[in-house]
Amino acid sequence: MLDTVRLWNLAARLPGPFSGAKLHHAGLRALHARAWDAADDLLERAALAYRRELRVEPIARARVHQLIARMRGTDHRDAAACLEIERSLYRLARIERLEPPFELVDSSELLATWSAPLVADPAVPRRDAPSSTDPPAP
């Protein structure tokens, strides 16, 4: 349902009619599509919706996914943020996979694989990467 950038942006701004699970799934789709800002916004809204729904474990899973989206969306590799992601994954029993169909898996599986895309890949657009029209840095 929420599988296009336009719908992601709409849901992030007007999350009311969507459940935490729907927003979380949309955030995972955005994360998979490398739409870092949309993923961050949707996962934030998912966590807030889960809070309204009084669902504690899904809040934790959404927050871990949000941290991963933030880390993947920047060129800066913050060791403390990486450690926080790994600690959070260690505390969870299960979490949604980062690839479709985003099924729940043992968190140790994601712990072993979440950071693989952090290896420098020039094809992966970053949030703060200069565009090809930016002047070269001095």
Q: Residues 40-65: pLDDT tens digits?
A: 999 999 999 999 999 999 999 999 99
In residues, how long is the chain? 138
14-23, 65-74, 122-131: least confidently modelled range: 122-131
pTM: 0.80
* Contacts of residue 88, Cβ cutoff 8 Å, sequence gap at least 6: 60, 63, 64, 67
Task: Please write the tens of the pLDDT for every residue from 77-119.
Answer: 889 999 999 999 999 999 999 999 999 999 999 999 998 887 6
Q: How far apart are CA 64 and CA 9, in angstroms?
A: 21
Mean pLDDT of the 68-81 span: 90
Which pLDDT value is given to residue 131?
45
pLDDT of amino acid 130: 45
Q: Which residue has the higher pLDDT, 2 or 79?
A: 79
Q: 13 near 45, Cβ under 8 Å?
A: no
When computed from its CA atoms, the radius of gyration of the chain, rounded to whole angstroms, is 15
Q: Which residue do the tokens 């709409």 mark?
A: 10
- H-assigned helices in 1-138: 5-13, 20-32, 36-52, 56-72, 79-91, 107-113
Distances from the Cα of 9 to the Cαs of 6, 26, 44, 104, 111, in angstroms? 5, 10, 13, 25, 29
How far is Cα 113 from Cα 58, in angstroms, rounded to an integer?
20
- For residue 95, the 8-state DSSP code is E
